[in-house]
Homo-oligomer: A and B are copies of this chain.
Amino acid sequence: MNRLTIAVDTMGGDLGAEAAVEGAVRAVEEFGNVHLVLVGPEDELAGLLKKHSHTGRIEILHAPDVILPSESPTLAFRRKKESSIVVGLKHVKDGHAGGFVSAGSTGALLTGATVLIGRQQGIERPALGTLLPTPKGFTLLMDSGANMDAKPSWLKQFGEMGAEYMQRCMGVTNPRVGLINVGSEEEKGNAAAKEAFLLLKESGLNFIGNIEGREIPAGAVDVAVCDGFTGNVILKFMEGFAKTMMGMIKEEITSSPISSIGGMLAKGAFRKLKKRFDYREVGGAPFLGLNHIVIKAHGSSDALAIKNAIRQCIVFEKGK
C-alpha cells in the first residue's frame, strides 16, 4: 500500500485542538504508512505538538478560523475561507491529502465537501453513514444526519452507497439492505418511504424490504436506510438510551448490598458492553458519495475517537 496522507481538522470538536493533536500522535504511532496534516492555528498546534515525543509524519497546515455548529453551513462556508474545514477540504481537493477527518459542523462539512471535493457520478446527495453496534457486528445507518428531507431517489442511492461500503470496507458479502419504516407491509410509511420502497425493490440490491425500529438494534440488516432527520434522531436516541439504561442498572444494583456485590463481580462484563456502545471505538462516520473520503467524527471526540476516525479513513482507502 502506498503512503496515505490524511488532513485532520483540529478546530471543530468540543474538546479543542488538544484532543485532535493527541489523537493524531497516537494514530501515527499505531498505524504505519499514514501521514497526517493537522489543520488549525499554526502557533497553537506547534505548541501542542511539542508536548509529544513522536511527531514524525505529522505536519501543520495553518487555518486561523473556525466554523461553529450554530452557524449557517452555506453562509459560513462561503465567508470563512480560512476556517479549518475549508482549508482542510481544499488540501484534499488539490491532491495533497487523500482524506479529511473533522469533528466540526456536519452541515458545513457536507456543504464544503460537496462543493470542493464533489459528488461521485450519479449520486444526487452524499450521506453520512454511521456504524451502529449490534450483537453480531455492525449495521450502517444511512443517512444518519446529512439530508433532512430526503427524496425517494436519494433514499435508493443511500442504500446503494451503504451496501458498497459494507461490502468493500467491512467485508460483508451481499449486504442486506432494509428501509426503516413503521411496518413491514409495502404500502406503509410516509410519502417518501412508500416511493423509496418501490425504487429499492427494483434496484438489484439485496433489499429485504421495510424494517421496523425494533429490528435495527438486533442487526436484521447490514444497511438501514432512512432520511437524515430520522437517522440522526435514532443515532442520538441510542446514545442517550444506552447511557440512561446503564445509569438505571447501576442505580438498581447499588440499591441493595447483595446486588452491589453481584455488580462488582460482573464489573468486567459491564465494561466490555460499555466499550461496545462507545462511539469513540468506531471513531467517526464516513460521508459516502464523494470523490474522496471525509470522516465526520463525533462532536465530543477525544483523542481515542480522533485516532479511530483516522483509522476509518485508512480502512476506507483500503476498500477502494
Contacts and interface: CB of A to CB of B under 8 A. Distances in A.
A83 B218 CA distance: 35
Contacts of A193: 229
Interface stretch (A26-34, A86-94, A254-262, A289-297): A254-262
A70 B191 CA distance: 18
Nearest to A232: B182
Contact of A237 (B216, B228, B255): B216
Given A189-B148, A229-B230, A233-B182, A240 B217 contact: yes
A73 to B, nearest CB: 10
A238 interface: yes
Contact of A248 (B135, B189, B228): B135
A247 interface: yes
A213 B245 CA distance: 15
B238 A182 contact: no
Most chain B CB within a 10 A radius of its CB, from A237, A252, A272: A237
A229 B145 contact: no
A281 interface: no
A169 interface: no
- Majority secondary structure of chain A interface residues (helix, strand, loop or mixed): helix
A177 to B, nearest CB: 17
B213 A232 contact: yes
A124 interface: no
Contacts of A249: 249, 269-270, 273
A216 B236 CA distance: 9
Nearest to A147: B190
Contacts of A262: 261-267, 269
Interface in A201-248: 212-218, 226-230, 232-245, 247-248
Given A214-B240, A241-B217, A70 B266 contact: no
**Closest 8 A/B residue pairs (Cβ):** A262-B265, A214-B240, A213-B236, A262-B266, A213-B237, A252-B269, A148-B190, A217-B244
Interface of A: 69-70, 72, 134-135, 145, 148-149, 180, 182-183, 185, 187, 189-191, 193, 212-218, 226-230, 232-245, 247-249, 251-253, 255-256, 258-259, 261-270, 272-273, 276-277
